[in-house]
Amino acid sequence: MQKELDKIAKDTNIFLKKFIKKQKKSELIIPMQYGLFSGGKKIRSKILIDVGSLFKINYKSLIMIGSAVECIHAYSLIHDDLPCMDNDSIRRGKASTHIKFGESTAVLAGNSLLTMAFEILSNKSLKIPERNKNNLINKISESSGHLGIAGGQYLDLYYERKKVSKKNIINMEIKKTGKLFSFCCVAPLILKDKSKKEIKKFEQIGADIGLLFQVADDLIDHKGNLKIAGKKTGKDKIKGKATLISLIGYKNTIKYANDLIVKINNKIRKYGSKSQNISNTLNYILNRKK
Ligand code: GRG
């Protein structure tokens, strides 16, 4: 698994470096690169490639689409670390972007990474029909805005120190983290002009994968340590974050995560032996330490 992730990370970074090199220089490029190339598992791109293999999508297109996703992901991490959000000084084992470059620069570098995602998807070097590009951009925009990452982040902050139901915690985690995974799961189907019904099915699978990812992240915060995780841990409890662990406890949360894996595996099995790639990634997601 690590070898596969390393290859995806290498190919994604090569694409992104070339893409940025072709653009005119600006003062924001250095902080943008700092947030983008400071590490990162590239797990969203892995899911995109796993689902892409079910539908025989060419690897180069998947790396380009994954690069756009990684830009949005890096943006969300830069903004998540800001003092007005989760106020974190360490990310991926290094100083957060706002610690290194200042708050206003971090906000603007984050904004520029978000828009770079759309520059990548609309770029002519992504050789797919215009209608597919349009549908990809429509879907990734929806995943990032008030119905997705930004909306989920709002709820994450709003729910601090409140009693929140299981249904609302799950809804918040699916928006905050699941929607970008949903995009990764439906992008290959968009490229193959699949039916709305089938796209909806993969949207749900993506939401469950994202939920699993976020639950695993909460488990790392609960039991992990800074040296391995590359970020401060034990913060959820201090901040009174609404998580499944705070509601149903550590052991029940692990059971919940394992049940999610069974549920996702049951849905993807019918896509044949290639679905094993997704299953392997699910196990990695739950057992990871960072
Ligand atoms: C609208 C994009 C956007 C952002 C503004 C700040 C914010 C709203 C949203 C934050 C969302 C967020 C940070 C969710 C947490 C998701 C999560 C568990 C991130 C960690 O992802 P990993 O482990 O990170 O894949 P690496 O470092 O491996 O890339």
pTM for the structure as a whole: 0.95
pLDDT band at 273 (very low <50, low <70, confident <90, very high): confident
pLDDT, residue 227, reads 85
Is residue 61 in contact with ligand 1, taking CB distance under 6 Å? no
Alpha helices in the chain (DSSP H): 2-21, 29-36, 43-54, 59-80, 97-101, 103-122, 130-144, 149-158, 166-173, 179-191, 196-223, 226-229, 235-239, 244-248, 250-268, 275-287
Residue 105 has pLDDT above 90, yes or no: yes
Is residue 236 in contact with ligand 1, taking CB distance under 6 Å? no
Tokens 């924001």 belong to: 28
Is residue 77 in contact with ligand 1, taking CB distance under 6 Å? yes
pLDDT, residue 232, reads 86
pLDDT band at 272 (very low <50, low <70, confident <90, very high): confident
> Rounded mean pLDDT of the chain?
95
CA 279 to ligand 1 centroid distance, Å: 22
The model's pLDDT over 123-147, given as tens digits with 9 standing for 90+, comes to: 999 999 999 999 999 999 999 999 9
Is residue 12 in contact with ligand 1, taking CB distance under 6 Å? no
Residue 173 has pLDDT above 90, yes or no: yes
CA angle 78, 83, 87 (to 5 degrees): 75
- Three-class secondary structure of residue 90 per DSSP: strand
Residue 74: closest CA among 166, 149, 134: 149
CB 289 within 8 A of CB 228: yes
The stretch 161-181 carries a mean pLDDT of: 96
Chain-centre distance for alpha carbon 119: 19
Ligand 1 atom with the shortest distance to the CA of 75: 2
The model's pLDDT over 224-249, given as tens digits with 9 standing for 90+, comes to: 888 888 888 998 999 999 999 999 99
pLDDT band at 290 (very low <50, low <70, confident <90, very high): confident
The stretch 83-109 carries a mean pLDDT of: 96
CA 73 to ligand 1 centroid distance, Å: 6
> With pLDDT > 70 as the criterion, what percentage of the chain qualifies?
100
Residue 165 has pLDDT above 90, yes or no: yes
Residue 286 has pLDDT above 90, yes or no: yes
Q: How many residues does the chain have?
A: 290
Q: Is 4 exposed, middle or buried (0-12, 13-18, 19+ CB in 10 A)?
A: middle
Residue 51 has pLDDT above 90, yes or no: yes
CB 109 within 8 A of CB 93: no
CA angle 144, 4, 280 (to 5 degrees): 80
Ligand 1 atom with the shortest distance to the CA of 43: 25
Q: In sequence order, what DSSP letters do the residues of 51-65 get, joined into one string?
A: HHHHTT--HHHHHHH
Is residue 5 in contact with ligand 1, taking CB distance under 6 Å? no
Is residue 264 in contact with ligand 1, taking CB distance under 6 Å? no
CA 33 to ligand 1 centroid distance, Å: 17
Question: Which distant-in-sequence residues (6+ apart) come within 8 Å of 252 by Cβ?
Answer: 244
